[in-house]
Structure 1
Amino acid sequence: MSFLTVKGIHHTYFTRYFAVTALEDINLDIQEGEFISFLGPSGCGKTTLLSIIAGLIAPAAGTILLEGKPLDRKGLSIGYMLQQDYLFPWKTIEQNITIGLKLLKKKEETEIGKALGLLEQVGLAGVENQFPRQLSGGMRQRAALARTLAVNPKLLLLDEPFSALDYQTKLKLEDLVSETLKSYGKTAVLVTHDIGEAIAMSDRIYLLSPKPGKIHKWFKVPALLQSLCPFEARNHPLYSDLFQIIWKELENLEGGNEHRSIT
């Protein structure tokens, strides 16, 4: 049985004057512990699909099953990391990363201790009493990762979480997130425009075509690349081979124009 099943997902946005079909007949299965990426041109529905998986949007048709059961937002722990860290500026880092535990009424000393231990694991030991404004962008995203993992989510959803960071910080965080998720055995789904990021971090990559969003193709990342940290994977010949294959597929989807801005 698949850990996460996306079955027959169809979604249409309605306005006063017209309707736009964002997604059509999306079907995929994700196993527990897998890292999956959604890649594709702007407007192909990647973020819409992620929002449906998160339970934030109800699809027009289709179902999402987690561990064989229909998605139940009330009883489900899903972690969501976005481009912005969305830390509360008036709260300390400790207060920020433990807020999810308090909302779930898990205020036990052991749970708080585990959350603070996550800060150390992501390289933020000693910043518990600082405020978000005192940290760099990369440090705030590390804190956001610790906050997400503190509630022990079954599924982690990542919506371009590194896109606002400088390139060096982005590479470091790719390694950190990949290593952390593997150590916790977490299942993750990443939305990205970055081919290299998708290859370096994923087990499988789904390429979506636009208007409406459909699964055009999917690619299995070679096991050797999966075994490497993202930074090392980027320097392996197999990475370059897969990059070129996906690049050409994206060029075909976009007519060879917009894709030249993708790195």
Structure 2
Amino acid sequence: MLTLKNLTKTFTDEPVLKNISLSFEDGKTTAILGPSGSGKSTLLRLINLLEQPDQGEIQLEDKIIAFPQKLPFKELRQHRANFSMVFQAFNLFPHLTVVENVMEGPTQVKKVPAAVAKQQARQLLQLVGLSEKSDSYPKSLSGGQQQRVAIARALAMEPKFILYDEPTSALDPELAQEVLNVIQNLADQGNSQIIVTHHVDFARKIADRILFIENGTVFYDGDTEHFFISDIPRIQQFIQRVSQ
């Protein structure tokens, strides 16, 4: 269980997130929706402590981190080890093969023996449908294939939660669907996932829960089905606009 309590973040005197209190259950997929600039991506970065909150608490299982404080690097690293983040950009190492990209984290960070990490990496590439590309270099892959490698790389770290920040925004619809299919399969397998996305139809299919964030606050937090049949005018307006 991941719990956030009264998280607040301000940039240049402008509040981006205001007293956010949420819990995320293990084995569930949450989709975060909302207009641009609402604080969705910032929320992911606070969870992973790529940005540190101005105030509030983050609790993962029995470990509580309270802010404001400047965490030492060792504690930051320990916290971040519980999460893997998949960004809009794929951020693969161009000089490494696909399988080397996936095994890089386990060998360098977790000190997994190279032979073991390589075997695990090939299994993960099979999971995302790219076993035949394991010895290729990123430049030879499509955008959708590169993002699927990025997901395999995230899984290789065996995180408690996978965080996705608009994972398909840089892809055309056909390639985006390849990535969405992989995320759907991971959801079906019970992985814990938090996804910032603008794909409302995908969110409807995959998410156990929807968060709708606007103006730095949580406007809706609840069941996916109820979100899409909501009679709240703001939610109806948002769905209609992004569906167009």
Q: Distance in 1 between matches of 2:119 and 2:235?
A: 45
Matching residue's letter, 1:128 = S
1:7–1:27 contact (8 Å) kept in structure 2:
yes
SS of the equivalent of 2:131 reads: coil
Equivalent in 61, 70, 89 of residue 84 of structure 1: 89
Task: Quote the residue 2:152 is aligned against.
Answer: 146
1:155–1:187 contact (8 Å) kept in structure 2:
yes
Q: Distance in 2 between matches of 1:42 and 1:132?
A: 30
State the identity %.
31
1:88-116 Cα deviation digits (max 9, x unpaired): 11111111111101222112533321111
Alignment coverage as a number of residue pairs: 232
Q: Distance in 2 between matches of 1:57 and 1:87?
A: 22
Q: Distance in 2 between matches of 1:247 and 1:50?
A: 26
1:41–1:250 contact (8 Å) kept in structure 2:
no
1:188–1:163 Cα change, 3 Å:
same
- TM-score normalized by structure 2? 0.87
**4+ residue segments displaced more than 6 Å:** none
- TM-score normalized by structure 1? 0.81
1:111–1:88 Cα change, 3 Å:
closer
Task: Quote the residue 2:22 is aligned against.
Answer: 28
Q: CA deviation at 1:246?
A: 8.0
Task: Quote the residue 1:58 is aligned against.
Answer: 52
2:47–2:58 contact (8 Å) kept in structure 1:
yes
1:158–1:247 Cα change, 3 Å:
farther
Q: Distance in 1 between matches of 2:162 and 2:9?
A: 22
Q: Distance in 1 between matches of 2:167 and 2:104?
A: 20
Matching residue's letter, 1:156 = I
Structural RMSD (CA): 2.2
1:96–1:55 Cα change, 3 Å:
same
Q: CA deviation at 1:251?
A: 5.7
Equivalent in 110, 114, 121 of residue 127 of structure 2: 121
1:118–1:150 contact (8 Å) kept in structure 2:
yes
Q: CA deviation at 1:136?
A: 0.9
Pairing 1:112–2:106 present: no
2:210–2:227 contact (8 Å) kept in structure 1:
no
Task: Quote the residue 2:223 is aligned against.
Answer: 220
Task: Quote the residue 1:245 is aligned against.
Answer: 230
Q: Distance in 2 between matches of 1:200 and 1:77?
A: 26
Q: CA deviation at 1:242?
A: 4.8
Pairing 1:208–2:213 present: yes
1:246–1:176 Cα change, 3 Å:
farther
Q: Distance in 1 between matches of 2:232 and 2:173?
A: 20
Matching residue's letter, 2:53 = P
